[in-house]
Amino acid sequence: MKVEFISPFVNSTIKVLETEIGRPVPIEKGQLTIEASSYTCQDVTVLIGVIGAVQGIVMYGMSERTAKNIVSSFLNERVVIFNEMVESAVAEMGNVITGIASTELEKAGYASTLAPPTVITGRGVVISTINIKRLQIPLKTEFGDIELGVALRENNWA
């Protein structure tokens, strides 16, 4: 996996959180790992498919509590129940982050198209990225941890 496939997603995550909340948000990157195995979902995982010059999926995993904390900050009001509104908000957050990142990838010569977001709720769901290695990037925020999983590879036919 090329490094230029990773940085746009980390930078876009920071940018989207700061833009939506309206202030700087300290984010600490944890230890990066490259995984070849299946991914077991957290409470909430947003999946975005990517096709074009790069192909694969991008995943944003978090606890239900983190999802509610993020949406509470977006709305500037306390959200206590994980419901359709919270699900929709975290799906759109993943969509916007991936959209900004794909613009950066396109500038680097990797034009791609995004699939609509899919939200998976419930721990223990296994997602396989088949033959695409996945870079796991833990992001520690004041809202809770977000696990960014980038499983992209260059598409030879594009």
Say how many C-beta atoms besides its own lie within 10 A of residue 22's C-beta.
Answer: 10
Predicted model pTM: 0.92
Question: Phi/psi of residue 115, each to 5°?
Answer: -85, 155
| Nearest 10 degrees: Cα torsion 59, 144, 137, 119 | 0
| Residue ranges of domains in the chain, CATH in brackets | 3-152 (3.40.1550.10)
Q: What is the pLDDT along the chain (158 residues), one digit of tens a residue?
A: 676 788 899 999 999 999 988 888 889 999 988 888 787 789 999 999 999 999 999 999 999 999 999 999 999 999 999 999 999 999 999 999 999 999 999 999 999 999 999 999 988 888 888 788 889 999 999 999 999 999 999 887 64
